Amino acid sequence: MSKATSSNAKRVTTHLLQEMKLRGEKISMLTAYDFSMAKILDSGGIDVLLVGDSASNVMAGHETTLPITLDQMIYHASAVVRGVQRALVVVDIPFGSYQGNSRLALESAVRIMKESGAHAVKMEGGEEIKESITRVLSAGVPVMGHLGLTPQSIYKFGTYSVRAREETEAAKLIEDAKILEECGCFAIVLEKIPSKLAAKVAKAVQIPIIGIGAGAGVDGQVLVTHDMLGITQDFHPRFLRRYADLAGIMKQAVSQYVEDVKAISFPTEEESYE
């Protein structure tokens, strides 16, 4: 038995998520990009950890998710996997590693699964990436879909505003969700769409729908951990609830440390060796 599965914690599986939807138990999901954070979130009882390509913004300071590479995603994912005993670990296949080329999609998914030890991958898009999703699934790799606001297509849409407010876009989104379900996706993330539409999608398909900015009528919620813990400070969308002000706490701790070093009150004799 590997170190990661040696505890008594019952692992979250894609089947368990399906059962949770059936019994009406909501699914909790957060992002993680490193070992230490993954360990804390897992011990806090999170069901799903997403190694999101938002690492491009949060960890690397890029403006969009586009620059992050497959190698970098695998690096983040393998660190997260080492920190987890219970949660299902899902990894974003990054921009340029699956769109328009199902063979490349399969190669990227296999590399993620083999090199990181993660449990599933996530891909953005509907009908247009059906072939890539089907090919990845044919290799036995579970796929989570992602519809609505899809940050990898930011330059196509030009804005991060709410999606599918118009009837034709809403109808396409429902159709895409059904296509993803038919392909065999085990769940779908719906990002930043009207809550009524999100609830309608959750009713129209049997697989779990996990929302971010999609209201309460879906089967689970996901947030970017650094946003909900208040580590990032300049991002205030309506859907974001901040559960802590870690940036404030960290700044205070750092100021105290600086003061102690300057005043030579750190380290004390007890904090030093003879």
- Per CB under 6 A, residues contacting ligand KIV are 31, 50, 52-54, 92, 189, 191, 212, 222, 224
Strands 187-191 and 143-148: parallel
| Residues 207, 210: Cα–Cα separation, whole Å | 10
Give the shortest CB-135-to-ligand KIV separation in angstroms: 21
Specify the residue, 71 or 259, whose C-beta has the smaller distance to ligand KIV.
71
The answer to whether the beta carbons of residues 147 and 126 sit under 8 Å apart is: yes
What is the nearest approach in angstroms of ligand KIV to the Cβ of residue 37?
A: 13
- Which residues are within 8 A (CB) of 199 and not within 5 positions of it... i.e. 6 or more apart? 215, 217, 218
Tokens 């296949």 belong to residue:
93
Give the C-alpha separation, 251 to 249, whole Å.
6
Of the pair 212, 231, the CB lying nearest ligand KIV is at 212
CB of 87 to ligand KIV, least distance (A): 15
Of 9 and 217, nearer to ligand KIV (C-beta) is 217
Tell me which amino acid residue 180 is: L
Assess whether 25 carries a catalytic annotation: no
Q: Which residue minimizes CB distance to ligand KIV?
A: 52
Output the six-digit token pair for 186: 């085990």
How far, CA to CA in Å, does 260 sit from each of 185, 249, 266, 269? 54, 17, 5, 14
User: CA-to-CA distance for 208 and 62, rounded, in angstroms?
Assistant: 31
From the candidates 191, 259, 271, 274, give the one annotated as an active-site residue.
Answer: 191
| Shortest distance (Å) from residue 211 CB to ligand KIV | 9
Give whichever of 96 and 268 is closer to ligand KIV, judged by the CB atom. 96
Catalytic residue ranges: 191
